[in-house]
Amino acid sequence: MIVSYKTLGKYVDLSTTSPYELADLLTNAGLEVEQVKPFAQGSDLVIGYVVDAYKHPNSDKLTVCIVDVKDETLQICCGAANVGKDMYVIVAKPGCEMDYAKVPVIKKVELAGVESNGMICSLLELGIPEKFQTQEQINGIEVLDKEYPIGAEALSTLGFDDYILDIALTPNRSDIYSIYALAIEVAALLKQQVKEIPMKVENAKEGSYRIKIESDDCQAYCLYEFNNINSQESTNEIKNELMALGFKPRFNIVDIGNIGMVISGNPVHTFDADKLKSKEFVIKKGLEIPDFLALDDKVYQITKDDLLITNGGEVVAIAGVIGSKSSCIDENTKNVVVETADFSHVSIRNTARRLDLFSEASTRFSKITNPYTLEFPVRLFMDELNLECQGANIVGLKQYQAQAIELTHSKIEKVLGIKIPLDSCVEILESLSFKVEENSNTITVYPPSYRKDVELDVDVIEEIIRVYGYDNIEATLPLQEIIYHKLTPLQEMVRESKDILVGLGLQEIVTYQLNSKENLDLFSDDDNYKELLNPISEDRKYFRNQLLSNMINTIQYNNSYQHPNLALFEISDVYLADREDTHLAFGLTGLFEDNTWLQQIKKADFYLLKGIIFNWLERLGFSYGRVLIKPVEDDHKYLHPTRAAYLTINNKVFGVFGQVHPALAQQLKLKETYLGSIDLTQLANNVGRINKFEGLSLYPSVSRDLSLVIPNDVDASQITRLAKTGNNKLVKDVKIFDVYYGNNIEENHYSMSISLTICDDKKTLDDNTINEVVTNIINVFEKKLKVKLRQ
């Protein structure tokens, strides 16, 4: 919110309060002022009169000017093409400090052999932004439009002696979009009275226009008619005020409307009455127009969800956003119709976001405007242009009914922790335009119409302490009971997992919890996503129900910046239909290890990701035998059909991992990529997670190799698990070192070779014991899995 210090000073006395003191005052009251800066800047600027001007003898680009600045006559070399004799100009005398000029301190210099004592200034060199100026002003010096006192201080004489305050508004304080509402706030902080200004359009007869409201998104609509207006350029005072408020001056009708909007907080829109086709305005939705020409000379597409203002069957405005070119006012306008309205802020915000048209008006309509002051900006319009309203049509405008809020003195003391006299509380609230009724130790408070954020008694208490001053609260340490907090199993697992995975060489990422439907659909068949009510964009509209879409976006982003080798993980919440869970996602692509000097190069593949996952699980306390893998089914079409697997525990799937399907990888322009997704919430709920330390055996171990013929429907995990169960407690480890498909193997079978590590922690093994263990394992294989020893 941009605020002009001089404009604010029209409604509250700031003569003893500097702009910087005002900024501190507002910030301490909860309205953070991010920046205070002069509207224009220069330490020794005066009005000068060009007595004579002639071409520089040694330069075609310079003009030698003889400038009268009252107490002396200065010879100044000027490079502007528009400088000439008999002009009133802005002069920076030698010693003048100018932050926005090419030379920060103006000095006496010699230019191409001719002495120059100062500088004739443009508005850009004073710090006035280019967007407020004409092309002629941008290209040259500022030529003043009339005679000014020669030698007078330039900034104050021209009305540039203003300061701009940039206030960062919180969402609940949309009332501060009205400078008059801010003036009430400042007056309360300074213990002053705000200057009252007329709010109503009085003595206006019924107008000639009819109004029909056909949508609930318009609660009130007002039209005011003015005839025989002299459309012309605004005065310098109005121009300067507009620029300080962030607007580019146009001509008086538009300029006064903008000032009225900023002062009141209620946007106004003006129609050229002579360009309207009908005496009836209809406010409605439901039209679809592909080529609406707006007053900014751009064409927009109107949808059936947009609220529209129509006249004579023609759309004359997209409500609250922008008007039509066909009915806009211009320098030839004589008769105008001024509109004020109360539109649904949700409807206006959706349209403005879709069209990317967040103007000063649509920004205010997108907040909650005050529907009870719709005549306020029109009255300002009348006063500034000295006009009489020829007719008014008002539909839906209601009288404000304030909500009563009961508050006790004891509640104020309890919440604030300090004692503030009840009389002082009443005085503070009344200074903020709250109506207060006292009844012994209780007060009834009625907030003003523009304070929609005040609904509860604690809201009223906040208003009291803001004005009373947070600095007046004595600092004390609250009494707090020391409570022992224990981490939940899930919290412990999350912390341990991060340490383990970073130790394994992966990098943690943190991504947005919101994503687009298009990205979520890539990794989910369920399109019933939780939707954000007020998204900042379509790409951040839905809560994710898995982490893989964010993981793939991160990989794409890094690949686009020439980072092909990635080993990533993310642990975060996902949002399902009936609950929130914590998931872990993996993402591998490119080279996992690239040490050319030691000739150690490891490429990301299915088995690397499997090894990382099982290493992580084992260090969490889930043994290899408890966690099994099985092939994926058709419900994970984003994964390669033969290079992907489920992770199961107690016959329940808790995760999936594998290679991204080649078709999807080609669609997303990815190289070979591997992903994994694990439900940590489900995993943490499984009991039996044990980290058990086993000492090194004092007795030697022996190895035995077995080559087996295995049916195709038996997987490796069944073999390794069965080898270590039953009576085979002496088997400490089982490793697979060869798999063979081909000749000399019976149909629907394959060959696998395993190595058994056998050890007894209590004694040295003899051959009979070792042979017995091996025989038992072979018998168990044959009995339970129909696995035979290869001959």
Taking only the tens place, the pLDDT of each residue in 227-257 is: 999 888 888 889 999 999 999 998 899 999 9
User: How large is the average pLDDT for residues 469-498?
Assistant: 85
pLDDT higher than 90, residue 746:
no
Q: Which pLDDT band holds residue 529 (cuts at 50, 70, 90)?
A: confident
Give residue-wise pLDDT tens across range 427-469: 999 999 999 999 878 899 999 998 988 999 999 999 999 999 9
DSSP-derived 3-state class of residue 145:
coil
pLDDT category of residue 126 using cuts at 50, 70 and 90: very high
pLDDT of residue 691: 58
Q: Which CATH superfamily is domain 210-395 in?
A: Phenylalanyl-trna Synthetase, Chain B, domain 3 (3.50.40.10)
pLDDT-based confidence at residue 624 (cuts at 50, 70, 90): low
Q: What is the CATH number of domain 405-472?
A: 3.30.56.10
Geometric angle at alpha carbon 60, from 58 and 66, rounded to 5°: 75
Which tens digits make up the pLDDT trace of 710-724?
998 888 878 888 887
Most confident of 4-13, 615-624, 732-741: 4-13
Domains 2-39+163-189 and 405-472 share a fold: yes
Topology of the domain covering 2-39+163-189:
Phenylalanyl-tRNA Synthetase; Chain B, domain 1 (3.30.56)
Would you state the CATH architecture of domain 702-789? 2-Layer Sandwich (3.30)
Its pTM stands at 0.66
Q: What is the CATH number that goes with domain 489-683?
A: 3.30.930.10
- Report the pLDDT value the prediction gives residue 581, as an integer from 0 to 100: 93
Give pLDDT, residue 204.
87
Per-residue pLDDT band at 540 (split at 50, 70, 90): confident
Count of CB atoms situated within 10 Å of the CB of 239: 18
| Residues in Cβ contact with 541 at an 8 Å cutoff, skipping those fewer than 6 apart | 514, 516, 517, 531, 532, 535
Model confidence band, residue 680 (pLDDT cutoffs 50, 70, 90): very high
Under 8 Å CB-to-CB from 505, ≥6 apart: which residues? 567, 592, 593
- d(Cα 700, Cα 439) in Å, to the nearest integer? 92
Percent of the chain with pLDDT over 90: 63
* Range 740-752 average pLDDT: 88
- What confidence category does residue 262 fall into, taking pLDDT thresholds of 50, 70 and 90? very high
Identify which of 1, 15, 19, 360 has the alpha carbon closest to the alpha carbon of residue 162. 19
- Number of other residues whose CB lies within 10 A of the CB of residue 83: 21
Q: Is the pLDDT score of 528 beyond 90?
A: no
Rounded-to-integer distance, Cα 34 and Cα 610, Å? 52
Rounded to the nearest angstrom, the gap between the alpha carbon of residue 563 and the centroid of all alpha carbons in its chain is 27
Q: Is 305 helix (H, G, I), strand (E, B) or coil?
A: coil
Tokens 């330069």 correspond to what residue? 59
Cα–Cα distances (Å) from 703 to 723, 734, 761, in that order, read 14, 10, 15
Torsion sign (Cα): 626, 627, 629, 634: positive
What is the per-residue pLDDT for 198?
Answer: 80
Mention every residue, 6+ apart, whose C-beta is less than 8 A from residue 353: none
Measured CA to CA, the distance from residue 418 to residue 409 in angstroms comes to 11
Q: What is the pLDDT of residue 480?
A: 76
Domain ranges of the chain: 2-39+163-189, 45-157, 210-395, 405-472, 489-683, 702-789
Whole-number Å distance between alpha carbons of 120 and 65: 9
Q: What is the pLDDT of residues 378-403, one digit of tens each?
A: 988 888 888 899 999 999 988 888 89
Cα(245)–Cα(3) distance, integer angstroms: 6
CA dihedral 417, 423, 426, 432 (to 10 degrees): -90
45-157 in CATH: which number? 2.40.50.140
pLDDT value, residue 567:
95
Spatial distance between the Cα atoms of 47 and 70, rounded to a whole number of angstroms: 9
What Å distances lie between residue 556 and 551, 564, 583, 659, 666, CA to CA? 9, 9, 21, 15, 12
Instruction: Report the chain's mean pLDDT, rounded to a whole number.
Output: 90
Buried b (16+ CB within 10 A) or exposed e, 329-365: beeebebbbbbbbbbbbebbbbbbbebebeebbbbbb
In whole angstroms, what is the distance from residue 714 CA to residue 781 CA? 11
